[in-house]
């Protein structure tokens, strides 16, 4: 219902999330109210309860449905959540170096993906499940449209930042290893998804421009509050 409501507004050209003059964005998108695990390694305990992790995964799925992605693609999203954030820890932070942080349920790299969120508050905004999923959707679309990924193993390779420039074509292509392919296939096949099946455009759903992602997420959060979540 949430996804259908938002897409109806978008299809009518309504600038979702803007609201009347003087109406700010949802409080859940206020950097002062959002928390990620600390840079020094301190973790937020309440984000690690089973109930909290279930809620995070459900919120990621809401984004996937709102973008009209295929059921199999939404399974792929859930597999990423479990791989990147201990199955739904909203506040997850992976330190990979002084300038390399993986944040939130989808493990988004600040170094590589900060430009996919409008503004300069990616940390902590990447720890909001809806933000994390909206940016992940952009990365996954790029894997197909810009890097030529044709199946889930190649999409996963691009998502993990594994690609190379083909010397014959001059184009970027996925660089998948046997080990990584085996791992993603195992996770997907447990959920009934063929990791080698050729993907089509319709599976990637709607595109939301970078400039529009904040208001898109804001509308999702307002709908969530309206539904009593």
pTM across the whole model: 0.87
Q: List per-residue pLDDT tens for the chain, 229 residues long.
A: 445 555 544 443 444 444 333 346 787 888 889 999 999 889 999 999 999 999 999 999 999 999 999 999 999 999 999 999 999 999 999 988 777 899 999 999 999 999 999 989 999 999 999 999 999 999 999 999 999 999 999 999 999 999 888 888 888 889 888 888 999 999 999 999 999 999 999 999 999 999 999 999 999 999 998 876 6
CA distance 196 to 50: 32
Question: What angle is formed at CA 210 by the lines to CA 204 and CA 216, rounded to 5 degrees?
Answer: 75
Backbone angles phi, psi at 210, to 5 degrees: -50, -45
Q: What pLDDT, on the 0 to 100 scale, is given for residue 4? A: 52
Residue 33 burial (CB count, 10 A): 11
pLDDT of residue 97: 77
List % helix, strand, coil for the chain (3-state, nearest 5): 50, 5, 40
* Count of residues in the chain: 229
Measured distance CA(17)–CA(38) in Å, rounded: 30
**CB 217 within 8 Å of CB 134:** yes
**CA-CA distance, 204 to 60, in Å (whole number)?**
15
Rg for the chain, CA atoms, rounded? 17
């Amino acid at each position: 219902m949430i996804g259908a409501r938002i897409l109806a507004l978008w299809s009518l050209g309504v600038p979702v999330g803007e609201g009347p003059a003087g109406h700010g964005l949802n409080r859940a998108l206020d950097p002062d109210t959002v928390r990620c695990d600390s840079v020094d390694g301190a973790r937020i305990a309440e984000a690690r309860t089973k109930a909290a992790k279930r809620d995070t995964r459900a919120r990621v799925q809401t984004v996937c449905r709102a973008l009209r992605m295929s059921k199999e693609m939404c399974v792929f999203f859930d597999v990423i959540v479990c791989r990147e954030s201990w199955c739904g820890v909203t506040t997850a932070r992976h330190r990979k170096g002084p300038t390399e942080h993986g944040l939130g349920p989808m493990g988004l790299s600040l170094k590589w993906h900060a430009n996919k969120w409008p503004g300069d508050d990616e940390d902590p905004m990447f720890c909001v499940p809806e933000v994390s999923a909206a940016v992940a959707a952009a990365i996954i679309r790029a894997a197909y449209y810009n890097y030529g990924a044709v199946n889930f193993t190649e999409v996963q390779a691009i998502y993990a930042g594994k690609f190379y420039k083909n010397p014959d074509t001059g184009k970027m292509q996925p660089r998948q290893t046997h080990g990584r392919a085996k791992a993603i296939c195992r996770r997907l096949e447990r959920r009934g998804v063929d990791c080698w099946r050729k993907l089509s455009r319709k599976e990637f759903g709607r595109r939301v421009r970078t400039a529009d992602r904040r208001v898109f997420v804001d509308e999702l959060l307002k709908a969530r509050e309206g539904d009593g979540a």
